[in-house]
Amino acid sequence: MSTEVKVPVLGESITEATLGEWLKQPGDPVKADEPIASLETDKVSIEVPSPVAGVMGAHGVNVGDTVSVGATIGSIEAGDGAAATPAPAATPAPAPADTAGQQAPASGDAPAALSPSVRRAVLETGVDPATIKGTGKDGRLTKDDVLSAKAAPTAKPPSDGGAAPAGRADAAPAAEPAVRREERVRMTRLRQTIAKRLKDAQDTAAILTTFNDVDMTAVIEARTKYKDLFEKKHGVRLGFMGFFVKAACMALKDVPSVNAAIEGDEIVYHDYADISVAVSAPGGLVVPVIRDADQLSVAGVEKTIGDFGKRAKDGTLKMDEMKGGTFTISNGGVFGSLLSTPIINMPQAAVLGLHRIEDRPVVRDGQIVVRPMMYLALSYDHRLIDGREAVTFLVALKNAIEDPTRILIDL
């Protein structure tokens, strides 16, 4: 008996996706609701669960093919997989090569149970997942586990002191000249969408960037003083983003145009703050939305961001979590960025870029002192936001960060 595997509903207005990878191969045993394939949409990766328990049948489509909602992409056959997966011979066949020309890891059916992001990391690094101890839930491998295993030093064979082995008159042969290689990799649907949206933003909006800097002394002191108590009470680490999101919400109330959008010949003002936060995912940056961030506490913001970051790495963010947003914050400082001019996340009117914290000399009360400083960058649509409003927003944000008590008393 055969059961068809169909493309599930992908979300409102999403009618098709690209098959990113098969997580199960023909003959592999499959449990009910176990992921068997990964689909790439314009925004996120979605796993396709098996409708029943059985054995993976033939693949109906290939990796990279575009599939529509409701289309049949494969089948699940009756059985437990025992007959379809016999024990390997004494000399197993070599594993297929991955896109980089390296041999893919051969570790039984272990890769089939990995999440899309982990499986991709395994293929890219060539690390055998069977040799790695997982640190995720129930001992599952994470992407960080794979990258850490790749970065771990490997033992080198002991030197023979330069002496040639017995029976050899010559020393070691000269090294062969380096071979120059190129690799062509098809852009993922997510990367194509990111490229299109960024270019559309530049073609549509009159983008201008205004800069300021902020003294992080007070926030760093508050974080150092309360981080242990904060984590004990709320179960999440106290970071800097919680402060910046709350400070931004206050500044957005002072300067409503920064929280607005242009629709046709109308300006739409929002009396709420849905803050989009850029987080890193295997296929590129994704921008989930903190709904009603102005109504959340710092702890609520930190919990939401932490959850987004984890699920972005696992590829389990939902489509609805990526929609909307009235203002975006992008923190390039976590990657070491000193200064940047971020691009607007259309149809929003502005985006705030955060950067690394760096000790710099500044003047305080006529004295040159060293302070932990961060550059702030506000890119905005000049069709809607004037320079005065952009500067006013940044100054309000700066004041709240340099005196966090303002966040507490909404000043």
Active site residues: 382, 386
- Which stretch of DSSP H or E encloses residue 190? helix 189-204
In a 13 Å sphere around the CA of 237, the CA atoms on its Cβ side amount to 8
CB contact at 8 A, 104 and 95: yes
Query: Measuring CA to CA, which residue among 72, 66, 73 is closest to residue 22?
Result: 73
Distance, in Å, from the CA atom of 35 to the CA atom of 47, rounded to the nearest integer, reads 6
Residue 285 Cα to chain centre, angstroms: 5
What are 361's strand-pairing partners?
A: 370
Phi/psi for 170 (5° steps) reads -100, 160
Query: Measuring CA to CA, which residue among 304, 306, 307, 346 is closest to residue 328?
Result: 346
CB contact at 8 A, 271 and 259: no
Q: Which two tokens stand for residue 380?
A: 């905005």
CB contact at 8 A, 355 and 332: yes
Distance, in Å, from the CA atom of 92 to the CA atom of 106, rounded to the nearest integer, reads 10
- Which stretch of DSSP H or E encloses residue 154? none
Q: Which two tokens stand for residue 273?
A: 């703050």
CA geometry: angle at 272 spanning 269 and 274, to 5°?
Answer: 105
CB contact at 8 A, 97 and 104: yes
Task: Quickly list H helices, 255-386.
Answer: 298-314
Distance, in Å, from the CA atom of 64 to the CA atom of 37, rounded to the nearest integer, reads 12
